[in-house]
Structures are given as structure tokens and as C-alpha cells.
Amino acid sequence: MTAPGPVRIDVMDSSSTRRRATRAKLYEAAVTLIAEQGFSATTVDEIAERAGVAKGTVYYNFKSKTELFEELLRFGVGLLTASLQEAADHAAERGGTKVEALDEMIRAGLVFINRYPAFTQLYVAELWRTNRAWQSTLMVVRQQVVAVVETVLRDGVEAGELSEEIDIPLTAAALVGMVLVAALDWQAFQRERSLDDVHGALSLLLHGRVSGRRD
């Protein structure tokens, strides 16, 4: 029965399973509370209580309330960009056009917001504030999102599929904004609509079929 070999390396792994689980619970608790109330109005006691954890645990796992928030931002935006990138790659694999890729990304964005509405809310609410502690984190994180869209636009222009007239950074920002706001509005004020309804409306705008032509 050859002993399993004594030396257990993972002892030093600072991200033990237990710790990871605790952090995840804290993210989960913080994201909803901050989305609803804003950062300043949300207390660390509330976060701890909602996570089912003592206040001290928050400070054992994070340096401060602000740091918890910043890591939450990085974590969430990581999920979003991965999802957008995957959609773009997927469309590319299938040999679709860049407009099709954008369309897929819009859908991926909507799916994400539908699954994590609180995170999106919080992101939009904080993004354009100035002079806040986490400003630089936000800028980095915003750039990650926009860059994914910009790349697709750039490829589309190079391939001659998109108009050379378009201003890539501005168009990317506008597209992201369109999806964010339409989705938040859907979640907040038009819950009865299906994801396909929303996707359809945005797709129409993207394809420029708002004006003109009826079939």
C-alpha cells in the first residue's frame, strides 16, 4: 500500500479551498448590496451578515472595504470580457461576418447582464465617477471591455466589411453603452420582455434597419 508520500505541498497554498469559498460568499453578498445602495451606503457589517460571516473575517480576507470592492470589480469584469471574447471567437470560427460577431457579442452581453444584473448596475453606477479611490482600477477594467469590441470593429474595417468612416473608439463606447443601458432598462422597467425581444431591437439598430425599408 505504498504510503501516499508524505509531503503535502498544498499546505502553503494561500488560497485554500476554505478561503476561496469565504471570498466568494463575500463577493456575492457585496455585489447585491452595493448595487442596491451604492458603495458608501453599504456597511461592512451588512456585507458580513449577508455572507453569513463575522465582520472580522472580511478584514482577514481583504485589506479594506475598498479593496474588497476593487477585487469584486476585477472579478466581475473578467467574467464579462471572457464571455464577450468567447462570443467573438465563436462567430469567427464559424466563419461569420464581423457584423455577425458583433451581433453575437450583443447577445453575450445581454446574457451576462441577465445573469448578473447587480454587477452591471454597480459597474455603470461607478464607472464615470471621478476622484474616487478605485478610479484607476475602473479605468483598466473599462478598457478591457471596450478593447474587445474595438478589435472586432477594427478587423471589420480592415476586411472592408465595415465602413471606413466609423470612429472606432467612439463607436465601441456607443455600442457598449447601448447594450448596457438597454439591458438595465429591460431589467428594471420592462421585465416582461424576453431576451430575444431585446436582442432583436438592438440587432435592428446595429444592422441599420431602423430607418427605411419594410419588407
Partner DNA sequence: ATTTTTGAACTGACCAGTCAGTTCAAAAAC
Partner DNA sequence: GTTTTTGAACTGACTGGTCAGTTCAAAAAT
> Footprint of DNA on this chain (CB under 7 A)?
6, 8, 11, 14, 16, 18-19, 21-22, 42-45, 52-57, 59-61, 64-66
Pairwise CA distance, residues 43 & 41, whole Å? 6
Residue 89 binding result from a second copy, DNA, none, given CB thresholds of 5 to 8 Å by partner type: none
- Cell matching residue 129: 465617477
| CB of 87 closer than 8 Å to CB of 108 | yes
List binders of a second copy among 159-188 (CB under 8 A): 160-167, 169-171, 173-178, 180-182, 184-188
User: Quick one: which of 52, 48, 189, 28 has its CA closest to 116?
Assistant: 28
Site string for a second copy, 123-162 (x = CB under 8 A): -xxxxxxxxx------x--x-----------------xxx
Pairwise CA distance, residues 108 & 145, whole Å? 13
| CB of 53 closer than 8 Å to CB of 30 | no
Instruction: Write out the residues near a second copy by the rule CB under 8 A.
Output: 35-41, 99, 121, 124-132, 139, 142, 160-167, 169-171, 173-178, 180-182, 184-190, 193, 197-198, 200-202, 204-214
